């Protein structure tokens, strides 16, 4: 049988449809890769191999990805009967299992995907690295001394190393795009409301969280988006339906676009490493070679103070509410020893806030979003191009808690989310494309942002870049 490690999900599904492989063969091959490589990565923390075999024995739906193995993140959605710990040591200690299944996972399985395990994540998704006290660090397959990003770091490391072709991911401040950049993958954050967060979540982080996947190919991302998109009963918000399948946008002509390039961090809140700025500038030259116009320009609102101040009010309130839910699950009060210092600090801050302050912060984020998005309307731009991160993937431990410098780990996260977070606030679709590697062999992603609802345009441009500058042949040192 064909070597499956670096075949994308579309190609693996074609093997099954053509009778060249069975679902059991695909799944068993993925299990073998996980068993062989995961000890070096610590990316998969909950193997679900028996569940996967049971799904095959029961008969898989005849969907577009029938028999293709997939990993799902241990956060951003529950899977009934499976561990759900979110990187938290108390949930791990009580061996909490999910009582329900997210619509997203239901749709994955209805499309024929076979879930083979759950991936490592930082505690409650608060950090752009994956290094929880509960499960230890996930390692970047390009350099195992470095982080694979977060909070979907386990998922990204798994796909980059060839364990599975696709893995579920979620993004509240960059958690699809950051690990995609760190691991040399394609990561598309859809428009707010494109994919349902239900039935357990109506909104998360004041509606800044969205969910999708990390992939090696653009066509896989587009086809998975076709599977996952669409409103479900009770959704708090939903995006306008697309005019056609996203998979049809792969290879379609995006036209001649006007693109703004911005390599300076918003409000200069982080120094941008020259290698990250150079990657975005190289992407700009490649876009110009494809016929697009690129000029230095960006929304002026990116330099306003409102964004960061209001975001941390929301984050603190979410942390406080999260610990109250944790106490309900555990059946006892949560103590400082039950969570990591950063989580506890956010929750303690949240306790000092009033309801009025939270409402005011959310309104400030909405107002800031309108000022930011006016750039696409009033200034006539199609896309904004930035670095995905302001620094290359950090050394593991660099974002760790230091009792001598309380709060350092939160501040140290800033360079990795400063370019991505603004577009969780606005709800716009954004993607990280893996076009550049540093001299030391580390992937360096570039971010492109479109207007609300224009995932189709991002997929067209990503496909154009992928064709002109293929990245699928790049394989990390640690791989299946």
89 catalytically annotated: no
Q: Give yes or no for a contact between 251 and 463, defined as CB atoms under 8 angstroms apart.
A: yes
Residue 127: closest CA among 89, 179, 168, 203: 179
Collapse the DSSP code of 2 into the 3-class scheme (helix H, G, I; strand E, B; otherwise coil) and give the result: coil
175 catalytically annotated: yes
**147, 151, 181, 446: which one is catalytic?**
151
Q: How distant, in Å, are the alpha carbons of 174, 265, 302, 414, 419 from that of 268?
A: 18, 5, 10, 11, 11
CA distance linking residue 455 with residue 429, whole number of Å:
6
At 45, which helix (H) or strand (E)?
Answer: strand 44-47
Q: Give yes or no for a contact between 161 and 168, defined as CB atoms under 8 angstroms apart.
A: no
**147, 175, 217, 369: which one is catalytic?**
175
CA distance linking residue 168 with residue 174, whole number of Å:
14
Half-sphere exposure of 118 (CA within 13 A, CB side): 23
**73, 92, 107, 118: which one is catalytic?**
73
Q: Give yes or no for a contact between 130 and 154, defined as CB atoms under 8 angstroms apart.
A: yes
Q: How distant, in Å, are the alpha carbons of 40, 87, 100, 343, 400 from that of 337?
A: 29, 14, 28, 11, 16
Per-residue DSSP letter, 395 = B
181 catalytically annotated: no
Q: What phi-psi label fits residue 149: left (phi over 0), alpha (psi between -120 and 50 degrees) or beta?
A: left
Q: Residues near 420 by Cβ (< 8 Å), separated by ≥ 6?
A: 171, 173, 174, 177, 178, 189, 388, 389, 430, 447
CA distance linking residue 243 with residue 255, whole number of Å:
17
CA distance linking residue 341 with residue 402, whole number of Å:
9
Q: Which residues are part of the catalytic machinery?
A: 73, 151, 175
């Amino acid at each position: 049988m064909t070597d499956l490690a670096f075949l994308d999900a579309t190609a693996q599904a074609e093997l099954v449809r053509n009778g060249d492989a069975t679902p059991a063969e695909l799944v068993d091959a993925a299990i073998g890769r996980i068993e062989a490589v995961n000890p070096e990565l610590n990316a998969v923390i909950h193997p679900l191999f028996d569940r996967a075999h049971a799904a095959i024995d029961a008969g898989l739906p005849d969907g577009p990805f029938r028999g293709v193995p997939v990993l799902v993140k241990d956060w951003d959605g529950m899977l009934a009967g499976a561990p759900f710990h979110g990187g938290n040591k108390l949930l791990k200690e009580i061996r909490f299992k999910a009582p329900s299944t997210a619509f997203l996972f239901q749709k994955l399985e209805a499309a024929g995907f076979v879930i083979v395990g759950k991936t490592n994540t930082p505690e409650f998704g608060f950090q752009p690295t994956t290094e929880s006290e509960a499960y230890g660090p996930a390692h970047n397959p390009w350099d195992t001394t470095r982080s694979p990003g977060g909070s979907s770091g386990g998922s990204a490391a798994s796909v980059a190393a060839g364990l599975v072709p696709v893995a579920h991911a979620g993004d509240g401040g960059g958690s699809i795009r950051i690990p995609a950049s760190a691991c040399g993958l394609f990561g598309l954050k859809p428009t707010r409301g494109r994919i349902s967060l239900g039935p357990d979540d109506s909104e998360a982080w004041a509606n800044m969280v969205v969910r999708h996947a990390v992939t090696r190919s653009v066509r896989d991302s587009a086809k998975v988006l076709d599977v996952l998109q669409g409103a479900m009963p009770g959704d708090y918000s939903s995006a306008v339906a697309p005019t056609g399948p996203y998979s049809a946008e792969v290879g379609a002509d995006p036209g001649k676009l006007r693109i703004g390039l911005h390599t300076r961090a918003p409000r200069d809140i982080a120094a941008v490493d020259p290698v990250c700025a150079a990657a975005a500038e190289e992407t700009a030259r490649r876009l110009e070679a494809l016929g697009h116009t690129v000029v230095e320009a960006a929304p002026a609102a990116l330099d306003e103070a409102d964004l960061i101040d209001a975001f941390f009010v929301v984050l603190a309130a979410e942390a406080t509410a999260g610990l109250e839910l944790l106490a309900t699950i555990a059946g006892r009060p949560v103590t400082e020893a039950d969570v990591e210092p950063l989580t506890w600090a956010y929750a303690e801050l949240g306790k000092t806030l009033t309801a009025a302050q939270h409402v005011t912060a959310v309104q400030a984020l909405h107002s800031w979003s309108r000022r930011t998005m006016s750039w696409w309307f009033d200034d006539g731009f199609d896309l904004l191009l930035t670095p995905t991160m302001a620094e290359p993937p950090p050394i593991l431990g660099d974002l760790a808690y230091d009792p001598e410098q309380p709060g350092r780990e939160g501040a140290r996260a800033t360079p990795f989310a400063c370019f991505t977070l603004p577009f969780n606030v606005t709800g716009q679709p954004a993607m990280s494309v893996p076009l550049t590697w540093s001299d030391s062999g580390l992937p360096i992603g570039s971010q492109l942002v479109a207007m609300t609802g224009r995932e189709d345009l991002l997929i067209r441009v990503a496909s154009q870049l992928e064709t002109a500058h293929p990245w699928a042949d790049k394989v990390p040192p640690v791989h299946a």
